[in-house]
Structure 1
Amino acid sequence: MNKKDLVRLTDEEVLQELKKSKSTAIFDAVLIGLLIGIGLYSTIKNGFGLLTFLPLIYVPIAGRNKVKSNELKRLATERNLE
């Protein structure tokens, strides 16, 4: 969802998306932690390899989710929804 789509959302839809973004942030944190753990275990057990850099694959996805979350928070603040 880009910025134009976010502006077109109704107040209720903004609140729903904001609620989803909070659960997505928790999911992102858990998944990144899990991937870091897998990478560390793999590095300790087998030395550097493909799994060592596994967390770097998910970082751009988590970054996009964070940007969308910040945009939703800004939009909710502008509309006095929080």
Structure 2
Amino acid sequence: MKNKELSELSDQEVLDESKKVKSNPIANALIIGFLFGIVIYSVVVNTWGFLTLIPLWLAYHFINNSKKAKKIEQLLKERNLK
């Protein structure tokens, strides 16, 4: 799904996207918490730098992926595909 919006996808494409972005919310929450813990530890120890930004970037992508998964789940319910 590069340039297409979710609403423009066909039913089969929406089902394929839902398989791609399936995530476990508890695991995502644990990973995001762990990554923010690394950042907080890094700030406390005064080692703010490039290695501190990597966990922030990873957490951003986990959060973004969960938002996309919620949108796809809502679209599945609207189209009665599930």
Q: TM-score range by the shorter chain?
A: 0.5 to 0.7
Please report the TM-score for the alignment, with normalisation by the length of structure 1: 0.60
More helix by share: 1
Match of 2:47 among 49, 52, 63: 49
Unaligned runs of 5+ in 2: none
Unaligned runs of 5+ in 1: none
CA deviations 1:6-64 (Å, max 9, x no partner) are: 001000000000000016x7xx67x768868x87xx9xxxx663587352221111111
Please report the TM-score for the alignment, with normalisation by the length of structure 2: 0.60
Identity of aligned residues (%): 41
Partner of 1:59: 59
User: What value does the CA root-mean-square deviation take over the aligned residues?
Assistant: 3.4
Partner of 1:14: 14
Q: Once superposed, which parts of structure 1, at least 4 consecutive aligned residues long, lie more than 4 Å away?
A: 31-36
Q: For this pair of structures, how many residues does the alignment match? A: 79
Give the AA of the match of 2:11: D
